[in-house]
């Protein structure tokens, strides 16, 4: 049995630059990010060697509801931390607006510095508003708040703040908590861009409980258009507990890994609400089944499930639907045709291979 610190040490010794870790909620992902921070500081004379996004990062943002004045000056305060010295770079760029634009926010925002005007102290709070004429403060939803905080850190990641210090790695823990499903693909896009922009200089460690986010990123690193660049330098792990409750970090490979998680995710989506990015997961599931059966691509799987149309034509449609450039800026709900196609394929996969999940 390994404790969290031993798992963190194991990760620190991984030679690959890109490390993707899937884990169920309550497994210890956030504790792992803290343990990793601690052991890397120990190896760096007590100084931070990387930058982190986790639940503690989110806790730096606290609402001041201004109850005494009927919410007149409601704002999101930022608790002062070691990160404040880097905030000034956000004041002088459009990076935060750029990151947020992918999520199509319904609000505008204003970054407030300290009353003494000292920009070196960083940003003290954020005011949100809808009406640009009055700038009347509003409180955004929980989901919008999480997206804003994620984009805030993402923008910080992409400044030159970390040159020559805290420059070794980014550790990102569950950036999609409290996000709506249709924002998952957009978040995957933002992480992919972060990897593209920083590879191979910085090590990227991502932990998540969301099989959709995990599968999209793993698929891109191992099979995507740029996989020749990343595949040999990407490690995929499952953080889990065995039957005795002992914590383990298991390196994974092989085509059929995560298929039951994917099936459960896709089945639940088919019963509730389907978005375009689910075709990405469906394609990966089909590829995994084909590879497990000793074949390549999705064509073989499709040919085995008795579709009403030519499997090659259906395969082309799936590839097209899972590679739309428009997904980079928005993740739309499926059309009626797309929903029917998706549900038909999924139902026949489950019927053919008799999956139980």
Distance of alpha carbon 7 from alpha carbon 249, whole angstroms: 7
Is 89 buried (19+), middle (13-18) or exposed (0-12) by CB count in 10 A?
middle
pLDDT digits (tens, 9 = 90+) for 284-296: 888 878 877 777 7
21 contacts 239 by C-beta, under 8 angstroms = yes
For residue 2, the model assigns a pLDDT of: 74
90 contacts 156 by C-beta, under 8 angstroms = yes
The DSSP line for 55-105 is HHHHTTEEEE--GGGTTTT-EEEE---GGGGGTHHHHT-SHHHHHHHTT--
For residue 25, the model assigns a pLDDT of: 76
For residue 299, the model assigns a pLDDT of: 87
For residue 166, the model assigns a pLDDT of: 79
For residue 243, the model assigns a pLDDT of: 61
Is the dihedral angle over the CA atoms 324, 330, 336, 338 positive or is it negative? positive
162 contacts 107 by C-beta, under 8 angstroms = no
304 contacts 352 by C-beta, under 8 angstroms = yes
Torsion of CA 149, 151, 153, 159, to 10 degrees: -150
Is 36 buried (19+), middle (13-18) or exposed (0-12) by CB count in 10 A?
buried
Distance of alpha carbon 286 from alpha carbon 302, whole angstroms: 8
Peptide bond into 165 cis (omega under 30): no
User: pTM, whole model, 2 decimals?
Assistant: 0.80
CATH number of this structure's domain 4-49+168-251, picked from the four choices 2.60.40, 3.20.20, 3.30.70, 3.40.50: 3.40.50
Half-sphere CA count of 202, side-chain side, radius 13 A: 26
For residue 253, the model assigns a pLDDT of: 66
Is 60 buried (19+), middle (13-18) or exposed (0-12) by CB count in 10 A?
middle
Closest CA to 151 of 103, 96, 203: 96
Between helix 259-271 and helix 336-353 the angle, nearest 10°, is 140
For residue 161, the model assigns a pLDDT of: 62
Torsion of CA 218, 220, 226, 232, to 10 degrees: 10
- Tokens in use for 283? 């394609």
Q: What is the CA radius of gyration of the chain?
A: 22
> For the chain, what are the domain ranges?
4-49+168-251, 58-151, 259-353
Q: What percent of the chain has pLDDT over 90?
A: 50
Segments in the chain below pLDDT 50: 1, 255, 325-331
Distance of alpha carbon 235 from alpha carbon 163, whole angstroms: 25
For residue 162, the model assigns a pLDDT of: 61
Is the dihedral angle over the CA atoms 318, 321, 322, 324 positive or is it negative? positive
């Amino acid at each position: 049995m390994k404790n969290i610190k031993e798992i963190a040490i194991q990760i620190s010794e991984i030679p690959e630059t890109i490390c993707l870790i899937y884990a169920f909620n309550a497994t210890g992902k956030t504790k792992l990010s803290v343990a990793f921070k601690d052991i890397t500081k120990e190896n760096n004379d007590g100084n931070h060697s990387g930058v982190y996004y986790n639940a503690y990062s989110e806790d730096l943002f606290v609402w001041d509801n201004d109850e005494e004045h009927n919410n007149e000056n409601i704002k999101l305060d930022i608790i002062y931390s070691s990160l404040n010295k880097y905030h000034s770079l956000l004041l002088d760029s459009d990076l935060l607006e750029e990151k947020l634009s992918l999520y199509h926010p319904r609000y505008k925002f204003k970054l407030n510095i300290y009353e003494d005007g000292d920009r070196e102290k960083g940003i003290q709070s954020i005011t949100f508003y809808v009406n640009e004429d009055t700038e009347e403060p509003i409180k955004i939803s929980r989901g919008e708040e999480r997206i804003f905080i994620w984009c805030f850190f993402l923008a910080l990641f992409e400044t030159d703040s970390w040159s020559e210090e805290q420059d070794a790695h980014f550790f990102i823990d569950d950036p999609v908590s409290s996000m709506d499903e249709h924002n998952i693909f957009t978040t995957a896009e933002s992480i992919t861009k972060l990897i593209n922009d920083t590879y191979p200089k910085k090590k990227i460690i991502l932990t998540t409980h969301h099989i959709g986010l995990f599968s999209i990123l793993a698929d891109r690193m191992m099979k995507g258009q740029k996989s020749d660049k990343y595949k040999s330098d990407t490690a995929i792990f499952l953080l889990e507990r065995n039957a005795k409750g002992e914590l383990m970090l298991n390196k994974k490979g092989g085509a059929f890994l995560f298929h039951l998680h994917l099936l459960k995710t896709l089945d639940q989506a088919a019963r509730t609400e389907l978005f375009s990015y689910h075709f990405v997961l469906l394609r990966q599931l089909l590829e995994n089944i084909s590879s497990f059966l000793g074949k390549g691509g999705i064509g073989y799987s499709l040919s085995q499930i008795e579709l009403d149309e030519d499997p090659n034509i259906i395969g082309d449609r799936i590839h097209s639907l899972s590679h739309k450039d428009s997904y980079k800026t928005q993740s739309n709900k499926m059309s009626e045709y797309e929903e029917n196609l998706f549900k038909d394929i999924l139902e026949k996969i489950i019927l053919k291979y008799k999956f139980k999940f």
